[in-house]
Structures are given as structure tokens and as C-alpha cells.
């Protein structure tokens, strides 16, 4: 068997070597180079998305690899191919069509797909992920073209390792997995939720350079309670109600064990599970394996980043702040806990820190006398009399910041914002509920009702606002500032765990990239157009934390930044 190491086998091989090479197969080595072991035919090359260059195969390569006649004669460059895709996509009418063109491209030519995404992330992120991916998940069975990732049905219990062994890559480092129960704000979409792990992993690569060959999207199919899907002949999952309780947890346990056995350095990221499973799964595995939940921990990280940047405008230390959350679900308690841990890191007692994070939900202020509280809410319960309205809670608790994670629009009323502006010179106002239609207030309302004094960021994007001749640019607390960088740091260091400390460090690293110029416009997150640079900075800081805590499985290098940058995937054809 011929083994040729290097980027690609030379296209100038002699005839005999070339014939020999044609019988070889390409594989990608750990270093990202191509290792030629057994070569497919030219026709096969065009159908292998990792090796395909399409019309960019040179004349020499076409001759050497049996591609002549299989392509139109004109040879194009990668740049020209990217320009062709830009023009094609820009001319399409709907975002779903754009999503499908990009999906087809990913299935055909991976290098070109990531080249397109990375050339303009601010334009393409919303097309391969939220909001467009939501519609794609809803219509999954109707737009299905070809499979990507792995589908693990609960009917295969006892055989998950066998099923996972069918995945062609032997070295998987990152799995994003969902059970499809709480897809974005769209509810139970069953196996249609697969669009989320696929889209999210594209962002790990496009926004932080995690090499795609190490990434695996997975859906755990335990059924669906969505009757419309069960009645749809094109639905592709198991036709049964969701499995709950012990059987469900045993299935998850078998999945985790199988991943550990087959891919011992793999990180599992849980995505879009319903609260009733998300919280216990994270609690069960966070101390045992390398794992995290982006809905809980990534959200908390990005909110904390916004707060760190906001404090540069308002002045004062984190431990001096008082937070009041509208909502007491997983987002609120996740953010409140990370803020509390960060306050504790500044020397405060953890219980006292949690008391500085008050929650207000559908039944009023979360106070110790309430009997309807879940275990994850009680650490934040205030020892005071019940308060029935949010504006009353603002007036009594005098928070420096309010954070909306209620899923209910318009609850940050004129009266609420005015009260915040009376209490604080620079009130911090974060309506984080998604999508835009659920936002607790708009950017314009926050700026107008506070006479331009609000420090504002939202979950969904808002356009710039002009008030009395001043221009404000609202920031978006998008998890994309955190999770791809977390993935890159874990990948580069082969971390054994993902800890809360790592999210605090990530938040600081995001906030420190906000420039004075950004702050002057009210912008408290770095611009998304330079997301790769921003992520690599964050990844370096997280990786340093991983080494400091002794959680890395690779030796500590002198230059951690160089380690991270050296592992970055670049979407270029091998020469
Ligand atoms: P959840 O359903 O777990 O929690 C919602 C909470 O809001 C519950 O505590 C509920 O009692 C409370 N609530 C509902 N109606 C209310 C009312 N009228 N008055 C007061 N409280 C009320 O939801 P989860 O997962 O915590 O998400 C909440 C929101 O946060 C969603 O809109 C989600 O899109 C958003 N979010 C934003 C992120 C970001 O921007 N980076 C990331 C994660 C979530």
C-alpha cells in the first residue's frame, strides 16, 4: 500500500505512480494533512465533499486523477467559486432557499462551504443557524435531501455503540446532541431538531476554526409529542410518544458510555433539551465527563460578558451590583448562578452573592415563603415579603440591572424603565427573550424612556437608534461569542472537563475586546464581522485556564495562543 504524506499527492507523478495512486484512498491525518492510502476514481473524488475541489481542480490534477472530461474545461480559483456562490445566494428570494443551497454545498464541497461562510460570517450565520434553521427544522421531513450526522433511536437501546461505530471518522472530538424537544422557541420538533446540531457545528468551524472532520451532529430519537408530526407521512422519526423517566435516562447513559468508549477525548454539548431533562443531564455528567449545555452555560457566559462590558460604562464592581431577572427558568437561573460564582470569585460569600440575584416569575418575586419553587430556584429566593408586580419589585429591590428572560414581550414597560432610570444614572437593561417579537422591550424604548442613559443589549438584534441627534448601536447577546471558542479551547487542549470558571474567563475575554469606540456608541459586544479573531482570543484565554487548572490532556506549550492558532481549520484547497 502506497502512503503519501503531505497536503495532496503531487499531480506530477509519473504515469505508473499515477496509475498506482489512482488505486489509493485519501484520508485526512490528525494534523489535517491528507494521507493517501487508497485512491478513489476521479468520479469518486467529485463526490467526496472533503476532497472535492469542483471546477478548481487544476489541469494537472485532472490529468493525474482521472478527472478529465468530468468537469467543464475552464479551471476556476477558490475565490471565483466563492464569488459565484455569493451571487447565487444573494439572488434567491427566501432565506430557506438560501439555507438549502448552503446545505447542498456543504454536502458537495466542504472547503468551499466554509470558505463562503467565513468570508462573511455576519451574513451567513443567520442563514445556517438561527433564525433560518428554525424553519428548516420545522420542515425537516419535507426538505430532506441526504443524511448528515447520526440518528440514534431509542428502539436501538443496547446497540448504541454498534450504531455509533458506523460513523466513518475514528477520531471524534466534538458532539452536539439534541433530543429535539425544545428547538429554539419552537417546541418539540422530534428528529427535525437535527438541523440544530448540524447548524451549530458549522458555527464551531466557521466562527472558531474547529476542524469539521472532528465534529459529529447527533439526534437522540425518543419519540415526539408533536401530534402534527406524528400524523405527517413525511415525518422521519419514531412514531411514538416521548419516552420519559428511567428509560429515558438509561438511554442517555448508554449514549454517554458508548461515546466515552469510542471517542475518549470527545466533548458532548447538549442542545435544546427541555428543562426537565436539560438540568438533570447537566448535573449528572458535568463532573464526570467533558461536557456542557450551551442553553444554560453559554447563555450565562454571554450575559456575563455583556455585564462586564456594561460595568465599564456604569462604573463599579460586579459584587456591588444588584440584578433582577424577569423570568426564573433555565436561562435566568443559569445566568444568575454564573454571576454569583463570578461575584464569589471577587471574594464575596456565595450565598450572599446569590441574594444579589433576585428572580421574578409568573407568580411574582421568588421569595422564601413561596411553596411552588423548584430546587434550582431556591438558592435565589429572597427572604422578604411577596411582591406582585415587576415595577414594584424594581422600586423595592433597586436593581442596577434588569435582565428579561421571560419569553413574554413588552413587560419592560415605560414605568419599569423610568423607575430604573430614576434609581440609576446608567441603568443596565437587557431584554434577552428571543425571537425579536418576544423581546421585553425594543432598543428604541429603552433608550427613549431612559433619556438615552440605558446600557442596552438584547437577545435578538435591533437596528441602530437615533435619539436627539445621538446614535446608539444596540448589542446582541448572542451565544456565538462563547460556544465556538469554548469548542476550540477544548479541542486544542483535549480538556477533561468544562467548568464554570471557563465560562467566566470566556465572558471576561469577550468583554475585553469591546473597544472604547464601541462603548461610545453603546455597543457592549464585539462586532460579529470579526468573529474568528474574537473567538480565537477567547479560546486562548479559556485554554490558558484549562492548563492552569490541570484539565488539559496535552502538554502545556510556552505559547498557548500559538497552540490554539496552530489547530485552526482554514478553508483552503490543498496545493
Ligand atoms: P423558561 O420557559 O425556562 O422560563 C421562562 C420564565 O419566565 C419562567 O420562569 C416563567 O415563570 C417566566 N414567565 C413567564 N411569563 C411571565 C410573566 N408574564 N411574568 C413574569 N414571568 C414570566 O425559558 P428559558 O429557557 O429560561 O428562556 C427564556 C427566554 O430567554 C427565551 O425567550 C429564550 O429565547 C431566551 N434566551 C436567550 C438567549 C440569548 O439571547 N443568548 C439564550 C437562551 C435563552
Per annotation, catalytic residue among 34, 53, 124, 200: 200
What is the model's pLDDT at position 260? 98
Question: Does residue 285 carry a catalytic annotation?
Answer: no
- List pLDDT tens digits, range 459-512: 988 999 999 899 999 999 999 999 999 999 999 999 999 999 999 999 999 999
What is the model's pLDDT at position 130? 86
- 460 CA closest ligand 1 atom index: 40
Per annotation, catalytic residue among 113, 114, 124, 129: 129
Our CA dihedral for 519, 521, 525, 528, rounded to 10 degrees, sits at: -140
Taking the C-alpha atoms of residue 183 and residue 387, their distance in angstroms, rounded to an integer, is 33
Region 138-154: mean pLDDT is 97
Among 183, 275, 329, name the best residue to mutate to test ligand 1's pocket (greatest count of ligand atoms within 8 A of Cβ).
Answer: 329
Question: Does residue 129 carry a catalytic annotation?
Answer: yes
What is the model's pLDDT at position 186? 86
Does the beta carbon of 184 lie inside 6 Å of ligand 1?
Answer: no
Average pLDDT, the chain: 93
Is 90 exceeded by the pLDDT of residue 21?
A: no
DSSP-derived secondary structure for 199-254: HHHHHHHHHH---GGGEEEEEEE-----HHHHT-TT--S-SSPPP-HHHHHHHHHH
216: cell is: 459529529
User: Atom 40, ligand 1: which residue's CA is nearest?
Assistant: 459
Neighbours of 208 (CB within 10 A): 26
Region 223-244: mean pLDDT is 98
User: Atom 42, ligand 1: which residue's CA is nearest?
Assistant: 299
What is the model's pLDDT at position 330? 86
Among 405, 434, 440, 459, name the best residue to mutate to test ligand 1's pocket (greatest count of ligand atoms within 8 A of Cβ).
Answer: 405
Does the beta carbon of 186 lie inside 6 Å of ligand 1?
Answer: no
Taking the C-alpha atoms of residue 51 and residue 45, their distance in angstroms, rounded to an integer, is 6
Residue 458, H or E segment = strand 455-458
The rounded Å distance from CA 464 to ligand 1 centre is 25
Among 276, 331, 476, name the best residue to mutate to test ligand 1's pocket (greatest count of ligand atoms within 8 A of Cβ).
Answer: 331
What is the model's pLDDT at position 14? 35
CB-count exposure of residue 192 (10 Å: 0-12, 13-18, 19+): buried
Taking the C-alpha atoms of residue 29 and residue 574, their distance in angstroms, rounded to an integer, is 13
Please, which pLDDT band fits residue 132 given cuts at 50, 70 and 90? Answer: very high
511: cell is: 468583554
Stretch among 10-14, 171-175, 282-286, 319-323 having the lowest mean pLDDT: 10-14
Q: Are 488 and 208 in contact (CB under 8 A)?
A: yes
- List pLDDT tens digits, range 246-273: 999 999 999 999 999 999 999 999 999 9
- Cα 480 to Cα 4, 144, 269, 542, 545: the distances in Å are 38, 26, 14, 15, 20
- List pLDDT tens digits, range 351-376: 999 999 999 999 999 999 999 999 99
Is 50 exceeded by the pLDDT of residue 8?
A: no
- 406 CA closest ligand 1 atom index: 7
What is the model's pLDDT at position 39? 67
The rounded Å distance from CA 406 to ligand 1 centre is 3
Stretch among 17-26, 51-60, 433-442 having the lowest mean pLDDT: 17-26
Does the beta carbon of 408 lie inside 6 Å of ligand 1?
Answer: yes
Is 70 exceeded by the pLDDT of residue 38?
A: no
Q: Are 571 and 50 in contact (CB under 8 A)?
A: no
User: Atom 6, ligand 1: which residue's CA is nearest?
Assistant: 327
Q: E strands along 311-415, which residues? A: 323-326, 357-361, 364-365, 401-404
- List pLDDT tens digits, range 101-117: 999 999 999 999 999 99
Classify 152 as helix, strand or coil: strand
Residue 475, H or E segment = strand 475-476
User: Atom 17, ligand 1: which residue's CA is nearest?
Assistant: 362
Taking the C-alpha atoms of residue 169 and residue 166, their distance in angstroms, rounded to an integer, is 9
Nearest-10 crossing angle of helices 195-208, 121-128:
160
Q: Which residue has 442517555 as its cell numbers? A: 252
Is 50 exceeded by the pLDDT of residue 230?
A: yes
For 422, list phi and psi in degrees, rounded to 5: -75, -40
Region 391-415: mean pLDDT is 97
Q: Are strands 34-38 and 25-28 parallel, antiparallel or unpaired?
A: antiparallel
Closest to 141 measured CA to CA, from 52, 56, 224? 224
Amino acid at each position: 500500500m502506497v502512503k503519501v504524506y503531505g497536503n495532496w499527492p503531487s499531480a506530477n507523478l509519473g504515469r505508473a505512480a499515477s496509475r498506482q495512486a489512482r488505486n489509493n484512498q485519501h484520508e485526512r491525518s490528525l494534523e489535517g494533512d491528507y494521507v493517501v492510502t487508497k485512491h478513489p476514481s476521479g468520479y469518486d473524488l467529485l463526490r467526496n465533499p472533503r476532497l472535492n475541489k469542483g471546477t478548481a481542480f487544476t489541469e494537472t490534477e485532472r490529468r493525474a486523477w482521472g478527472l478529465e472530461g468530468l468537469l467543464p474545461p475552464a479551471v476556476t480559483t477558490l475565490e471565483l467559486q466563492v464569488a459565484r456562490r455569493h451571487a447565487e445566494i444573494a439572488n434567491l428570494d427566501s432565506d430557506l432557499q438560501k439555507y438549502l443551497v448552503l446545505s447542498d454545498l456543504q454536502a458537495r464541497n466542504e472547503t468551499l462551504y466554509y470558505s463562503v461562510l467565513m468570508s462573511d460570517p455576519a451574513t451567513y450565520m443567520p442563514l445556517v443557524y438561527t433564525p433560518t434553521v428554525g424553519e428548516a427544522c420545522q420542515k425537516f421531513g419535507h426538505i430532506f435531501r441526504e443524511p448528515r450526522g447520526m440518528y440514534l433511536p431509542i428502539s436501538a437501546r443496547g446497540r448504541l455503540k454498534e450504531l455509533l461505530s458506523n460513523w466513518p471518522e475514528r477520531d471524534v472530538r466534538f458532539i452536539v446532541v439534541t433530543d429535539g424537544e425544545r428547538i429554539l422557541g419552537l417546541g418539540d420538533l422530534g428528529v427535525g431538531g437535527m438541523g440544530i446540531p448540524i447548524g451549530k457545528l458549522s458555527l464551531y468551524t466557521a466562527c472558531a476554526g474547529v476542524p469539521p472532520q472532528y465534529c459529529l451532529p447527533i439526534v437522540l430519537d425518543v419519540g415526539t409529542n408533536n401530534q402534527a408530526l406524528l400524523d405527517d407521512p413525511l415525518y422521519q422519526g419514531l412514531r411514538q410518544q416521548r419516552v420519559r423517566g428511567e428509560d429515558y435516562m438509561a438511554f442517555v447513559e448508554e449514549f454517554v458510555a458508548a461515546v466515552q468508549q469510542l471517542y475518549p477525548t470527545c466533548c458532548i454539548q447538549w442542545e435544546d433539551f427541555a428543562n426537565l431533562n436539560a438540568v438533570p443531564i447537566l448535573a449528572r455528567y458535568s463532573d464526570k465527563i467533558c461536557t456542557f449545555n450551551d442553553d444554560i452555560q453559554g447563555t450565562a457566559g454571554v450575559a456575563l460578558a455583556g455585564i462586564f462590558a456594561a460595568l465599564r460604562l456604569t462604573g463599579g464592581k460586579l459584587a456591588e451590583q444588584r440584578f433582577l431577572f424577569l423570568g426564573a427558568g433555565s436561562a435566568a437561573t443559569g445566568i444568575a448562578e454564573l454571576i454569583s460564582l463570578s461575584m464569589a470569585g471577587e471574594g464575596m460569600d456565595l450565598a450572599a452573592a446569590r441574594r444579589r440575584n433576585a428572580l421574578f416569575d409568573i407568580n411574582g418575586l421568588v421569595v422564601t415563603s413561596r411553596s411552588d419553587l423548584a430546587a434550582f430556584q431556591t438558592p435565589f429566593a429572597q427572604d422578604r415579603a411577596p411582591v406582585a408586580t415587576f415595577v414594584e419589585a424594581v422600586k423595592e429591590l433597586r436593581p442596577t440591572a434588569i435582565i428579561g428572560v421571560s419569553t413574554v414581550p413588552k413587560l419592560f414597560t415605560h414605568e419599569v424603565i423610568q423607575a430604573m432610570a430614576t434609581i440609576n444614572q446608567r441603568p443596565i437593561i437587557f431584554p434577552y427573550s428571543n425571537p425579536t417579537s418576544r423581546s421585553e422591550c425594543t432598543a428604541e424604548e429603552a433608550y427613549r424612556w431612559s433619556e438615552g442613559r440605558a446600557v442596552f443589549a438584547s437577545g435578538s438584534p435591533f437596528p441602530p437608534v437615533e435619539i436627539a441627534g445621538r446614535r446608539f448601536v444596540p448589542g446582541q447577546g448572542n451565544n456565538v461569542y462563547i460556544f465556538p471558542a469554548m469548542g476550540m479551547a477544548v479541542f486544542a487542549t483535549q480538556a477533561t472537563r468544562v467548568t464554570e470558571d471557563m465560562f467566566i474567563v470566556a465572558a471576561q475575554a469577550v468583554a475585553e475586546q469591546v473597544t472604547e469606540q464601541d462603548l461610545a456608541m453603546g455597543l457592549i459586544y464585539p462586532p460579529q464581522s470579526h468573529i474568528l479573531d474574537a473567538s480565537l482570543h477567547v479560546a486562548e484565554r479559556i485554554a490558558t485556564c484549562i492548563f492552569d487548572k490541570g484539565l488539559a490532556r496535552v502538554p502545556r506549550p510556552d505559547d498557548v495562543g500559538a497552540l490554539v492558532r496552530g489547530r485552526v481549520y482554514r478553508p483552503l484547497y490543498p496545493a
